[in-house]
Amino acid sequence: MKLTLKIWRQKDANDKGGIKTYQLDNVSEHMSFLEMMDVLNEQLIAQGEEPVAFDHDCREGICGSCSMHINGQPHGPDRAVTTCQLHMRSFNDGDTIYIEPWRAKGFPVIKDLVVDRSAFDRIQHAGGFVSVGTSGNTQDANAIPIPKADADKAFDAATCIGCGACVAACKNASAMLFVSAKVSQFALLPQGKVEAKRRVLNMVEQMDKEGFGNCTNTGACSVECPKEISLENIARMNREYLKASVTGE
Amino acid sequence: MSVLDAKIPEGPIKDKWTNHKNKINLVNPANKRLIDVIVVGTGLAGGSASASLAEMGYNVKAFCFQDSPRRAHSIAAQGGINAAKNYQNDGDSVYRLFYDTVKGGDYRSREANVYRLAEVSANIIDQCVAQGVPFAREYGGLLDNRSFGGVLVSRTFYAKGQTGQQLLLGAYSAMNRQIGKGKIKMYNRHEMLELVKVDGKARGIIARNLVTGEIERHSAHAVVIASGGYGNVFFLSTNAMGSNVTAAWRVHKKGAFFANPCYTQIHPTCIPRSGDYQSKLTLMSESLRNDGRIWVPKNMEDVEAIRKGTKKPTDLSEDERDYYLERRYPAFGNLVPRDVASRAAKERCDAGFGVNETGEAVYLDFDAAIMRYGREKATVEGEPNASDERVRELGEGVIEAKYGNLFQMYQKITDDNPYKTPMMIYPAVHYTMGGVWVDYNLMTTIPGCYAAGEANFSDHGANRLGASALMQGLADGYFVLPYTIGDYLADDIRTGAIPTDSPEFVEAENAVKERLEGFINNKGSKSVDHFHRRLGKVMWDKVGMSRNEQGLKEAIAEIQQIREEFYKDVFVPGGMYELNPELEKAARVADFLELGELFAHDALHRTESCGGHFREESAEEDGPQKGEAKRDDKNFAYVAAWEWTGDPSNAKLHKEELTFNDIELKQRSYK
């Protein structure tokens, strides 16, 4: 198939940036979206031009690196996929495709489609852990049985890959889905209960500091989330936050 | 040729690690604050080592080329992690895990290291559960287990098909706790490009800030390489696009021996390639072999009909199918180790029975499992007379609960529904057992330079069992390295901070700049990927699943040729002091082009077959094991550790003789 690509090009953080248009022929429907980008970059290199910079690594939907806003949707038109798992069979011959980076105050553009997501790391530094040493001298793993339903819910929350699509999808650039996934994972498990109050307060405080907006329950984040992280997690985080704020340590 | 000393502690195997820990030097807590450690890589090994070392009190500087430590490729491990917990009461023990691992590795691993690995395995699970890692559980609330290839017990802990993700996020959370406290200084988007040695000791690294392009000097009292494996030398592999050998290769060129580079694991269950644009291959967890049956058609007419599209796999009756693993290996069936399963698939496809257009695919079929689980479920649900259709529906539900995300991933990539039609799979490069040579303390042949996880060579011999990579990464990082590194650092408590303005740092920095400027200024005509693809094709065709003398010699000559052309004709657009992914790739491929040659050279020298290394000249000629790999313990029961001398084919061989006191050497039989 033949495509017209409208891609955001921005030399560095200080550059204003803008959309450039490229024509690409011979795209196979079996290619992944990033393989299509590889072909474009090979073409640009052959013409002596600079290839389009984009983040990517595992190319199997789990590392969370890839982050393209495609035709106005984070990770493109398909549900429950990352950009690397999107295949060209989701597009038609002759299509024009707009490709942009995540847009959010908390995610400044570094170059082209590459953004700085270190704010997510800093939120995790603020409390995304259980304070247990790594000596291995803890109790036996089966000492505390955990109801399967709780363990499964904690797992579902823990499958967040930290890609940032939730923020990119949100009109408020809110990071609530991301933060609530970690808060929920630990709130649901006995291991996380001890520090639950401190964790939610600290993580939310850091989230606000990073310039992410607030949640207005639109739900776009969950729809666009490649791991289908549920909105219930935001509700759980709000409960945890309220509880912690009201009752204190 | 010298004989290498692995510094294995004296005494019976079960007491070695305990005795060693009791005897080695310790650094007191106040002094740990005076010591810096660099950790390169933040996967399971690097992440857990960084967290543990920081928690003990050392100042850790951790480096990763990704934008966050959470993205290291350990994240993609699917199936599970082994541990000798014996929760299933099926006779598992530390000894049995040790035995299975040595046998699975085809008797080419170091006994003492493997025993230690088995010994600490149970603690890993305790540790991870305490961190809040959500492993799969049974309805009673206790941890669930599954079985993996090459063993007869259920000792694998898992979190659906995302075990690596959950374990890595556990290690990442432990790191975050230390980053928050300032004990780990994290350098994201940084790539190590050189090791700095001062007075013969590893004292720092030269790293490139991948955003600004700045070349930075970082000093420390010890350097830990935990940068993973080198499977991307094949261009196509299940590794992440960025996975590379550079950190390991740079320490090799500075004096660390590189061991057994030819030991590569070709994983039997990957999604077949679909075209020339293919950028990577995707693994389907080995856990699928618990329930999937592997087959190709018995008759060539059916193969042809399927390729033409006139027949579907589901049209073939049971007796028109060749379940070749069940046929050849009745005892282990579809759960034979990875190397055996891979070669068996190649054998059928080479004989013309491959089921897709490229002729490189076999079926992995869940129909029998769906019906079996469906019937069990129907009985439990009180529907003993359920129709086949209902049974299938229930069975699909059970399979979805077990492997849902894998099935979904398969469907996303291939557009086929694996609940309704068998998956197509083919072997792909997945893991490298070879790596930087380390002694029992995980120290390389450079004092103060350590290697952990897939980057080292020690635990998996010539073939790694499923669910053992996660175990080794975390064992090295949480429980082994933090102890053994103290023995070395105890001598450094009065050294003080290592200055970065010494001639050694200046020289190393200049060498890196010169190398990178060379790529930028080359102005050739072909992209980095052009050369990488060519290298990969030579590696796959001649140094892949099956190897022979002639092919290996050709491969060496061809790799030399590609390397020469690469330096003459590579084109790297952009500049040095900016984000430049092509420049990053160029530096990595340059190192792959040297490693590839050493890899082939190692494969050529090892004229026996063992584990993942299959030499066509060394197969059983007759008897019940006809065609199976033939080991040569008399001549090859050693680790081949290569010393850099200036070019890969003239690397100097050092041998570490492998002695087996606790396990009898036998031919591996899975029949």
A77-91, pLDDT tens digit by residue?
999 999 999 999 999
Provide the pLDDT for residue B417. Answer: 96
Q: Identify which of B66, B141, B177 has the shortest CB distance to residue A145.
A: B141
Contact A124 B415 (CB under 8 A): no
Which listed CATH number (1.10.490.10, 1.20.58.100, 3.40.50.12780, 3.20.10.10) goes with B503-636? Answer: 1.20.58.100
Mean confidence (pLDDT) of chain B: 95
Provide the pLDDT for residue B381. Answer: 92
Does pLDDT of B477 surpass 90? yes
Provide the pLDDT for residue B346. Answer: 92
If asked whether residues A153 and A184 sit together in one domain, one would say: yes
Contact B73 A129 (CB under 8 A): no
Q: What is the pLDDT of residues B553-566, one digit of tens each?
A: 999 999 999 999 99
If asked whether residues A104 and A203 sit together in one domain, one would say: no
Joined together, the tokens standing for residue B454 give 């897939």
Alpha carbon of B319: minimum distance to chain A alpha carbons (Å): 33
If asked whether residues A84 and A124 sit together in one domain, one would say: no
Q: Are B453 and B472 in contact (CB under 8 A)?
A: yes
Strand order in the sheet with A96-100: A18-24, A3-9, A96-100, A69-70, A73-74
Q: Which chain A positions have a beta carbon within 8 Å of B136's beta carbon?
A: 151, 155
If asked whether residues A127 and A146 sit together in one domain, one would say: yes
> By C-alpha distance, which of B244, B250, B243 is closest to B202?
B250
Q: Which chain B positions have a beta carbon within 8 Å of A31's beta carbon?
A: 275, 277
Residue of chain B with shortest Cα separation from A83:
B412
Q: What is the CA radius of gyration of chain B?
A: 25
Q: What is the pLDDT of residues B482-515, one digit of tens each?
A: 999 999 999 999 999 999 999 999 999 999 999 9
What is the sign, positive or negative, of the torsion defined by CA atoms of B153, B159, B160, B163? negative
Confidence class for position B263, pLDDT limits 50, 70, 90: very high
Q: What is the pLDDT of residues A23-43, one digit of tens each?
A: 999 999 999 999 999 999 999
Q: Which chain B positions have a beta carbon within 8 Å of A80's beta carbon?
A: 408
Provide the pLDDT for residue A137. Answer: 86
Provide the pLDDT for residue B370. Answer: 97
Q: Are B75 and B238 in contact (CB under 8 A)?
A: no
Alpha carbon of A108: minimum distance to chain B alpha carbons (Å): 13
Distance CA(B167)–CA(B170), nearest Å, equals 5
Confidence class for position B309, pLDDT limits 50, 70, 90: very high
Q: What is the mean pLDDT of residues B426-455?
A: 98
Residue of chain A with shortest Cα separation from B47:
A134
Contact B134 A114 (CB under 8 A): no
Distance CA(B242)–CA(B221), nearest Å, equals 28
Q: What is the mean pLDDT of residues B569-573?
A: 97
Confidence class for position B626, pLDDT limits 50, 70, 90: confident
Assigned fold of B267-429: Flavocytochrome C3; Chain A, domain 1 (3.90.700)
Q: What is the pTM of this model?
A: 0.96
Provide the pLDDT for residue B275. Answer: 84
Q: Which site among B17, B75, B89, B408 would you substitute to test the A interface, given the most A Cβ atoms closer than 10 Å to its Cβ? A: B75
If asked whether residues A60 and A103 sit together in one domain, one would say: yes
Provide the pLDDT for residue A248. Answer: 66
Residue of chain A with shortest Cα separation from B131:
A130
Q: Which chain A positions have a beta carbon within 8 Å of B579's beta carbon?
A: 12, 53, 110-111, 114
Residue of chain A with shortest Cα separation from B175:
A125
Does pLDDT of B37 surpass 60? yes
If asked whether residues A102 and A154 sit together in one domain, one would say: no
Contact B73 A58 (CB under 8 A): yes
Q: Are B512 and B190 in contact (CB under 8 A)?
A: no
If asked whether residues A100 and A27 sit together in one domain, one would say: yes
Q: Are A176 and A237 in contact (CB under 8 A)?
A: yes
Q: What is the mean pLDDT of residues A216-220?
A: 96
Q: Identify which of A65, A139, A145 has the shortest CB distance to residue B66.
A: A65
> By C-alpha distance, which of B226, B184, B166, B185 is closest to B55?
B184
Q: Which chain A positions have a beta carbon within 8 Å of B578's beta carbon?
A: 11-12, 111
Contact A121 B68 (CB under 8 A): yes
Burial of B273 from C-beta contacts in 10 A (0-12 / 13-18 / 19+):
middle
Alpha carbon of B134: minimum distance to chain A alpha carbons (Å): 5
Q: Which site among B121, B412, B533 would you substitute to test the A interface, given the most A Cβ atoms closer than 10 Å to its Cβ? A: B412
Q: Which chain A positions have a beta carbon within 8 Å of B60's beta carbon?
A: none
Alpha carbon of B164: minimum distance to chain A alpha carbons (Å): 10
Q: Which chain B positions have a beta carbon within 8 Å of A187's beta carbon?
A: none
Tell me, yes or no, whether A137 lies in a domain: no
Neighbours of B400 (CB within 10 A): 14
Residue of chain B with shortest Cα separation from A49:
B573
Q: Identify which of A63, A137, A139 has the shortest CB distance to residue B76.
A: A63
Q: Which chain B positions have a beta carbon within 8 Å of A64's beta carbon?
A: 68, 70-71, 75
Contact A138 B129 (CB under 8 A): yes
Residue of chain A with shortest Cα separation from B574:
A50
Provide the pLDDT for residue B347. Answer: 93
Neighbours of B518 (CB within 10 A): 14
DSSP state at residue B477: I
Tallying the residues shown for chain B, one arrives at 671
Q: Which chain B positions have a beta carbon within 8 Å of A154's beta carbon?
A: 132, 134
Q: What is the mean pLDDT of residues A45-50?
A: 93
If asked whether residues A169 and A85 sit together in one domain, one would say: no
Contact B275 A87 (CB under 8 A): no
Q: What is the mean pLDDT of residues B257-269?
A: 96
Contact A49 B573 (CB under 8 A): yes
Q: What is the CA radius of gyration of chain A?
A: 20
Classify A207 as helix, strand or coil.
helix
If asked whether residues A95 and A155 sit together in one domain, one would say: no
Alpha carbon of A130: minimum distance to chain B alpha carbons (Å): 5
Residue of chain B with shortest Cα separation from A183:
B132
Which residue has 């290592």 as its token pair?
B498
If asked whether residues A124 and A85 sit together in one domain, one would say: no
Q: Are B280 and B239 in contact (CB under 8 A)?
A: yes
Confidence class for position B2, pLDDT limits 50, 70, 90: low
Contact B127 A134 (CB under 8 A): yes
Give residues with Cβ within 8 angstroms of A238, minimum separation 6. Answer: none
Q: Across chain A, how many H-helices and E-strands are there? A: 9, 7
If asked whether residues A160 and A55 sit together in one domain, one would say: no
Distance CA(B647)–CA(B136), nearest Å, equals 49
Hey, what amino acid is at B405?
N
Q: Identify which of B126, B159, B188 has the shortest CB distance to residue A139.
A: B126
Provide the pLDDT for residue A249. Answer: 62
Q: What is the mean pLDDT of residues B617-622?
A: 92
> By C-alpha distance, which of B445, B425, B427, B426 is closest to B435?
B445
Alpha carbon of A245: minimum distance to chain B alpha carbons (Å): 22
Burial of A232 from C-beta contacts in 10 A (0-12 / 13-18 / 19+):
middle
Contact A133 B55 (CB under 8 A): yes
Alpha carbon of B453: minimum distance to chain A alpha carbons (Å): 17
Could you tell me where the DSSP H helices lie in B199-255? Answer: 246-253
Phi-psi region of B390 (alpha: psi -120 to 50; beta: other; left: phi over 0): alpha
Question: A55 is in which domain, residue-wise?
Answer: 3-110
Phi, psi of A45 (to 5 degrees): -65, -40
Q: Identify which of B125, B162, B275 has the shortest CB distance to residue A30.
A: B275
Contact B527 A42 (CB under 8 A): yes
Could you tell me where the DSSP H helices lie in B235-351? Answer: 246-253, 300-308, 324-328, 338-350
Could you tell me where the DSSP H helices lie in chain A? Answer: 33-46, 118-125, 148-158, 165-169, 176-187, 190-193, 196-209, 220-224, 232-247
Contact B68 A162 (CB under 8 A): yes
Distance CA(B72)–CA(B215), nearest Å, equals 22
Q: What's the distance, Cα to Cα, between the start and end of chain A in Å? A: 61
Q: What is the pLDDT of residues B522-552, one digit of tens each?
A: 999 999 999 999 999 999 999 999 999 999 9
Phi-psi region of B142 (alpha: psi -120 to 50; beta: other; left: phi over 0): beta
ipTM of this complex: 0.98
Q: CATH code at A22?
A: 3.10.20.30
Alpha carbon of B107: minimum distance to chain A alpha carbons (Å): 29
Classify B266 as helix, strand or coil.
strand
Contact B408 A80 (CB under 8 A): yes
Alpha carbon of B69: minimum distance to chain A alpha carbons (Å): 9
Provide the pLDDT for residue B19. Answer: 96
Write b or e for each residue in B212-230: b if 16 or more Cβ atoms lie within 10 A of its Cβ, otherwise e: ebebbbbbbbbbbbbbbbb
> By C-alpha distance, which of A112, A244, A100 is closest to A186?
A244
Distance CA(B484)–CA(B586), nearest Å, equals 35
Q: What is the pLDDT of residues A126-136, one digit of tens each?
A: 999 999 999 88
Contact B67 A116 (CB under 8 A): yes
Q: What is the pLDDT of residues A170-202, one digit of tens each?
A: 999 999 999 999 999 999 999 999 999 999 999
Contact A59 B241 (CB under 8 A): yes
Active site residues of B: 338
Q: Which chain A positions have a beta carbon within 8 Å of B124's beta carbon?
A: 136
Q: Which chain B positions have a beta carbon within 8 Å of A35's beta carbon?
A: 277-279
**Domain residue ranges in chain B:** 267-429, 503-636
Give the CB-side neighbour count of residue A218, counting CA atoms within 13 A. 17
Contact A138 B130 (CB under 8 A): yes
Q: What is the mean pLDDT of residues A200-216?
A: 97
Which residue has 């709130």 as its token pair?
A187
Provide the pLDDT for residue B58. Answer: 98
Does pLDDT of B1 surpass 60? no
DSSP state at residue B610: B
Q: What is the mean pLDDT of residues A110-121?
A: 98
DSSP state at residue B52: H
Tallying the residues shown for chain A, one arrives at 249
